[in-house]
Each structure stands twice: as structure tokens, then as C-alpha cells.
Amino acid sequence: MSFPDDVQVLTDGVVTLRAHRPEDAPAVHEQCIDPVSQAWTTVPTPYSLDDARSFVGQRVPAAWREGHAVFAVEACDDDGIPRFCGTVELRDEGGHRAEVAYGAHPWARGRGIVGRALELLLAWGFDERGLQAVIWWANRGNWASRRTAWRLGFSCDGTVKRWLDQRDELRDAWVGVLHADDPRSPRTRWLEVPRIDAGAVVLRPFRPADDVDRVVEACSDERTAYWLGQMPSPYTCADAEEYLLSRGERAADGTGVTWAVADPSSDVLVGAVSLFDVKSGREAEVGYWTHPSARGRGVMTQACGAAVRHAFTPEDGGGLGLQRLLVFAAVGNTASRRVIEANGFVHIGRERRSTKVRDGSLVDTACYDLLVEEYR
């Protein structure tokens, strides 16, 4: 093909996909030296203006000649002046398959521009290029990329360990696929983690920069470690970071909501409460732990009550609209059982030797549930 003459122009009236131009180089440079781009993409570091000129003038035309589709994204600012907003790409994988890739200029982020650009790109790829399947990859933890792919209808089929090469480091990767006959809309509900004022405590989303050390303190505590025998020991900052990331993944695939329980005056973490194994419209399990500094003050009883209320609140009221909650505790964990019983859960049975504690022994588990009509 002849670049740029044979590159189609695609537009939805707001966003335009077009061939890259030499004058895009300064904006490409701005994008690629941005810390977010450097953190999540494979752009060279350091990245110079000459690198940007080479990308626009050499790498993009070469990609088109090899069968890949690489478009510049353009949209107008508030004054109606067209701006370079990033690059989107379909990398030909053969067999009517392609890999999607995208990156946004900092100005374009949060404006829905890249999402619209990808809608144009995918429609063109499926309709004009005859693609049957498009794969999406992202470094694990790249929430902006995952949310964009989720909105477009990509699956998220899990994590591939140490797969994506970023500057000679193999990083864990999320992967998903969109087929030509798939709906271009989310496949699952991405559960939000709302801030809830529960009086003596606040339930809020985790903040990794603030909460990791407190999670380590709590999960290194002898009593917590004894009853939660499946936790790593010793418990490190890396374990806490993995815990927070995995809780975000539960929310993203619609299977769980986990809150940091915080002191209302300082906003310092004093525990955590979760609704997990969420089965939409049906049930979920409740889980929780308390930082040792907050024990004996009824903190977790109130936090658990707030989580229960959110679980049973109908979806149109901002809750999960569930019908039943389950919760389990080792028979000998009297503090945990007091939290459960104070929130009205009904004791429904006992599982023998089903909980493994820190010393490796198996102890009996008390089983409870609560129905929405009982809660009301």
C-alpha cells in the first residue's frame, strides 16, 4: 500500500482516525515521556523527539506495509482546534485475527476519546478487514486499559504469569478476546466500591499508597494469622499489594466488593470487609478482618452491618440486590462469631474439620446465613 494515501479516514463526527503526519511528532513525544505511558507500555526510556519522529516517519509506514493498521486519533479541543489524541492499532496475527493496542495522549485521557476511537477501529477491522477475533493484552494492574476493554465487550479470561515483555522484564498479563459476532458492550457487571459512612467507621476503597503497611501489620498479627491460616507467613508488603490487586480484580469481574474499614476522623485503615463469590441476584459470602489496634470497640460489627445493608439494597438503590448472605467462622473464633451473631445471621450448621488454622490443624466451622426478608 502507499502511505499515507491509502490509509482510510474513519470518523464518528467527534473522533477521527487518520494516517500519522510529521507534525504529530511533538505530541507523540509528549505522550511517550508521560509517566503513565512509561509505566504501562513498551516505549523506550528515555524517549526523545527523534524517537517520535522515527515512529511517525518510519515505523508507522512500515507497519502498514506489513499489514498492520496503525491510526492516529484526533479530536477537537474546547476551541474547536483538532488535537492529536493518541494511537490505536490492529496488529495482524494471520488467520483473520489481530491484536488491539492503544495509547492516549495525557490531554485525551478521561474524555472517552480512546473508547470512541476503538469502537471505530474494531468496527472497521471486523467489517472491512474480515477479522473474526481480536485479542487484548495489558500488564496486570493497568486498570485504565482493562476498563476500556471491558466497555468494548472484551472478555477478561484471567492472568497469564510472566508473559508480557517490558524492557527485558516479563510481567503478568491480563488477556481477553472479542469476536466479530460478540456484542460490543460489557459482559459482566463491574462492581463499584462506594464510600459508606457507618457512624463509628467508614467503608471506603483501598488506597495502596496509604494502606499497604496497615494491611501488613494486621495480617502479621498473631491472632489474625492463627485463624486465617491460609495467609502467607511471614506476610510482606508484596503480599499486601497482591491482596489489594486481587480484590480489584474481583470487582472488575463482578464477583466481589472489598472495602477498607477506616477510622472516620483519620481515615486510617482499621480493617477490611468483603462480599465475595457474588452470584448476581442470589447470594454472596461475607469475610472480614480487624487491625489489632481496633479490637474490642465494635468496629467490625458496624462495618459488617454496613456491608450487609449494601448487599441487600436493591440494584436500583445502588446496592447488589442479593437475596442471601453466607458467613463462616471457626467454632473457636468467638470474636468473629460475635460479629456474625450481632448482625442477625442465623446459625445453620457445622462443618467438621473444614478450617485450617496456622498450626496446620483442622478445626470445625460454624455456618451462618441471612435472608433478605429476615434482614428487613
Strand intervals (E) in the chain: 10-11, 15-18, 69-76, 82-94, 97-104, 133-139, 159-166, 169-179, 196-197, 202-204, 256-262, 269-279, 283-290, 324-330, 346-356, 362-371
Q: Are 36 and 106 in contact (CB under 8 A)?
A: yes
- Residue 313 and residue 91: Cα distance in Å, rounded? 45
Please name each of the domains of the chain with its CATH number. 10-179 (3.40.630.30), 196-375 (3.40.630.30)
Tally of CA atoms within 13 A in the half-sphere of 13 that contains its CB: 0
pLDDT at 264 (0 to 100): 95
Residues in contact with 150: Cβ distance below 8 Å, sequence separation at least 6, in sequence order: 156, 186, 187, 188, 190, 252
SS3 26: helix
| N-terminal to C-terminal alpha carbon distance within the chain | 67
Treating both helix axes as pointing N-terminal to C-terminal, what angle do 237-252 and 143-152 enclose, rounded to 10 degrees?
Answer: 20
- Residue 82 and residue 88: Cα distance in Å, rounded? 17
Cα-flanking dihedrals φ and ψ of residue 359, to 5°? -80, 5
- Residue 179 and residue 224: Cα distance in Å, rounded? 46
Residues in contact with 69: Cβ distance below 8 Å, sequence separation at least 6, in sequence order: 89, 90, 92, 98, 121, 124, 125, 129
User: For residue 280, which of 188, 146, 147 has the smallest C-alpha distance?
Assistant: 188
Per-residue CA distances from 168 to 78, 162, 238 (Å): 41, 11, 21
Strand intervals (E) in 121-168: 133-139, 159-166
Q: Are 178 and 154 in contact (CB under 8 A)?
A: yes
- Which residues does residue 327 pair with via DSSP β-bridges, in sequence order? 368
pLDDT at 1 (0 to 100): 80
Cα-flanking dihedrals φ and ψ of residue 356, to 5°? -95, 125
Per-residue pLDDT of the chain (376 residues; tens, 9 = 90+): 889 999 999 999 999 999 999 999 999 999 999 999 999 999 999 999 999 999 999 999 999 999 999 999 999 999 999 999 999 999 999 999 999 999 999 999 999 999 999 999 999 999 999 999 999 999 999 999 999 999 999 999 999 999 999 999 999 999 999 999 999 999 999 999 999 999 899 999 999 999 999 999 999 999 999 999 889 999 999 999 999 999 999 999 999 999 999 999 999 999 999 999 999 999 999 999 999 999 988 999 999 999 999 999 999 999 999 999 999 999 999 999 999 999 999 999 999 999 999 999 999 999 999 999 998 6
Per-residue CA distances from 326 to 3, 237, 304 (Å): 61, 30, 12
Instruction: Return the H-helix or E-strand segment holding 341.
Output: helix 334-342
- Residue 32 and residue 76: Cα distance in Å, rounded? 21
- Residue 290 and residue 219: Cα distance in Å, rounded? 9
Cα angle 233-240-309, degrees, rounded to a multiple of 5 = 115
pLDDT at 27 (0 to 100): 98
pTM, 2 dp: 0.92
Helix count and strand count (H, E) for the chain: 12, 16
